[in-house]
């Protein structure tokens, strides 16, 4: 007598669940937008599927840095209001196949952002991309709180200046209090990205040293981006620095920061002595 064959079972389809990263700071002008573009491009260059989202409603600069300002038809607010589908608003990068942009609106204000609308858009993006990188406006108002609301990871961008460090400390407190993870009793992964760093000026006491910044903020160091004209030049031609000036020290700093986000160990070289940098990373990882 033949044994009955077991019933065939359908293979379960793995649902994509991308990570949401917010690039934030308390102070404007520290390099959030250029860092969003550079990190997004660096992750895409590493084979990740990435979307960068501009939350700076009313200003909208991420599309300029990405070189997509003339391709904007629909934006984040149009999608939230149901005036356009997400697929209509997404702009695919012409240089990197796995990179896309969801621009902000220039004609609307931040009151057009709603918590339910943002949650819905983020959920859709999670299902399509490995990384959803939210470019937060500066400060602590509605746009900034909604940009960080659904984040799994935060990159806090600071310059080595007292005002930038003080404002960043306030933002770190918000990340631990106003995110969905915080409300669930969980901590959001936070990383510090130090931009516009000049070790010569630091030794002269004109700007803060890395050790001092780390001691004040107590957040693990993701990377140190040196003061560089390559960042501005790349932005002016509509390219993230990792694409526009791939051989520059700034580009290498962002590429290595992206590798750290994906869990790959590397030692950055765009600052003081490499041995000292290694000690910083070892200390923050301990």
d(C-alpha 5, C-alpha 25), whole Å: 61
List of domains in the chain: 19-285 (3.40.50.300)
Sign of the dihedral through C-alpha 194, 163, 138, 169: positive
Confidence band of 15 (pLDDT split at 50, 70, 90): low
Count other C-beta atoms under 10 Å from residue 107's C-beta: 10
0.85 exceeded by pTM: yes
Answer whether 202's CB lies under 8 Å from 217's CB: no
d(C-alpha 14, C-alpha 12), whole Å: 6
Confidence band of 111 (pLDDT split at 50, 70, 90): confident
The proportion of the chain whose per-residue pLDDT surpasses 70, expressed as a percent, equals 86
**pLDDT at position 286:** 43
Q: Would you state the structure tokens that stand for residue 105, as one six-digit string?
A: 């609106």
Residue 248: how many CA atoms within 13 Å on its side-chain side?
21
d(C-alpha 262, C-alpha 47), whole Å: 11
Indicate if the pLDDT at residue 23 is higher than 80. yes
């Amino acid at each position: 007598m033949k044994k009955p064959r077991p019933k065939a079972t359908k293979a379960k389809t793995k649902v994509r669940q991308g990570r949401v990263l917010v690039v934030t700071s308390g102070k404007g002008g520290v390099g959030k937008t250029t860092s969003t573009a550079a990190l997004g491009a660096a992750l895409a260059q590493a084979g990740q599927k990435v979307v960068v989202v501009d939350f700076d409603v009313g200003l909208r600069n991420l599309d300029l840095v990405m070189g997509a300002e003339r391709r904007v038809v629909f934006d984040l607010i149009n999608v939230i209001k149901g005036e356009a589908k997400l697929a209509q608003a997404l702009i695919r990068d012409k240089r990197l196949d796995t990179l896309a942009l969801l621009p902000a609106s220039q004609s609307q204000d931040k009151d057009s952002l709603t918590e339910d609308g943002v949650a819905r858009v983020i959920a859709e993006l999670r299902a399509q991309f490995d990384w959803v990188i939210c470019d937060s406006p500066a400060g602590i108002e509605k746009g900034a709180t909604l940009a960080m609301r659904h984040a799994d990871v935060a990159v806090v961008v600071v310059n080595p200046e007292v005002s930038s460090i003080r404002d960043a400390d306030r933002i770190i407190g918000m990340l631990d209090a106003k995110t969905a993870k915080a409300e669930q009793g969980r901590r959001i992964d936070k990383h510090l990205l130090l931009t516009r760093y000049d070790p010569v000026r630091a030794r002269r006491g004109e700007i803060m040293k890395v050790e001092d910044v780390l001691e004040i903020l107590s957040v693990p160091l993701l990377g140190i981006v040196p003061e560089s004209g390559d960042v501005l030049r790349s932005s002016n031609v509509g390219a993230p620095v990792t694409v526009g000036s791939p051989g520059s020290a700034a580009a290498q700093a962002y590429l290595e920061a992206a590798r750290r986000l994906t869990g790959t160990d590397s030692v950055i070289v765009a600052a003081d002595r490499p041995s000292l940098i290694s000690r910083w990373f070892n200390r923050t990882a301990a």
